[in-house]
Amino acid sequence: MTFLTIGHRGVMGVEPENTLRSFVRAERSGMDVISMDVQLSKDGVLVVLHDAEVDRTTDGAGAVADLTLGELRELDAGDGERVPVFEDVLDAVRTPLQVSVADVAAVAVLAELVLRRDLSARVEVASFHDAVLAEAARRVPGARTALYADLGGDEAEDIVDRALAAGARTVALNLRRLTLETVEAAHRAGLRVTGWTVNTLEQLRLARALELDGVATDFPEIRSTGRFTA
């Protein structure tokens, strides 16, 4: 089975996160998948940003939902990069994409785009929210989806049931709270398991010991050290 290396928001350890520059470098580094986050602008455009506010990752301030695409385009997202529209990313790279969505409204727009551009084989929808994945599966027959979880509290016990109920094919879990028992339970249920975020050789060794199917990383160097088959 092939071990996947997922570029986290591109390769955000060396480039501004969720920018075209970061995604292009992730592709050139040989990442198997590129992960990103999307939000809806005030005028309903799917833009690539992690936070609900622009304050942390740009030179602007305020909620993404309160800013138009034109206003977002004027912001510096790091090193002169601009906030990309999701379709910009589709045109900039050819690597498979894992798209993290936080709400049902955004997944509805994403689903329409996936259907219109026939992207089902290329785009995996990811979310911490079960309802978002269920909505993606409802709107896009055969959609590939991934349930993210931090495994706090009782999550480790019910993550498999949650993933199956939401129609997810993958569970993406916090490596620091992950146990072999959880991985084995997910694998028995036919789920793929990936870990986040793996940025050191020690963490990569742990991922291998846990028999994960892949890892998300901030750094392109992990690709060369993590390439193996099990």
In a domain, 22, yes or no: yes
Which pLDDT value is given to residue 230? Answer: 33
Q: Point out which residues pair with 83 in neighbouring strands.
A: none
Please, what is the Cα angle at 148 between 56 and 108, to 5 degrees? 80
Q: Is residue 29 part of a domain?
A: yes
Domain total for the chain? 1
Q: Which stretches of the chain are assigned E, i.e. beta strand?
A: 4-7, 33-40, 46-48, 97-101, 123-127, 144-149, 170-174, 192-196, 214-217
Rounded Cα–Cα distance for residues 161 and 163 (Å): 5
Helix (H) or strand (E) holding 111: helix 104-116
- Tell me the pTM: 0.95
Please report whether residue 181 resides in a domain: yes
- Which pLDDT score, from 0 to 100, does residue 169 have? 97
Other CB atoms within 10 Å distance of the CB of residue 180:
10
Specify the CATH number for the domain of residue 201. Answer: 3.20.20.190
Cβ neighbour number for residue 144 with a 10 Å cutoff: 21
Q: Return the structure tokens found at 175.
A: 């490596």
Cis peptide before 197 (omega within 30 of 0): yes
**Looking at residue 156, what is its pLDDT?**
72
Is 221 part of any domain?
Answer: yes
Q: Which domain holds residue 158?
A: 4-225
Residue 83 lies in a domain: yes
Report the pLDDT averaged over residues 171-186: 95
**Which tens digit of pLDDT belongs to each residue from 90-125?**
999 999 999 999 999 999 999 999 999 999 999 999
The answer to the question of residue 118 being in a domain is: yes
User: In the prediction, which pLDDT does 154 show?
Assistant: 63
User: Would 230 be classed as within a structural domain?
Assistant: no
Asked if residue 64 belongs to a domain, the reply is yes
- Read off the pLDDT band of 1 (50, 70, 90): low
pLDDT on residue 153:
62
157 has a pLDDT exceeding 80: no
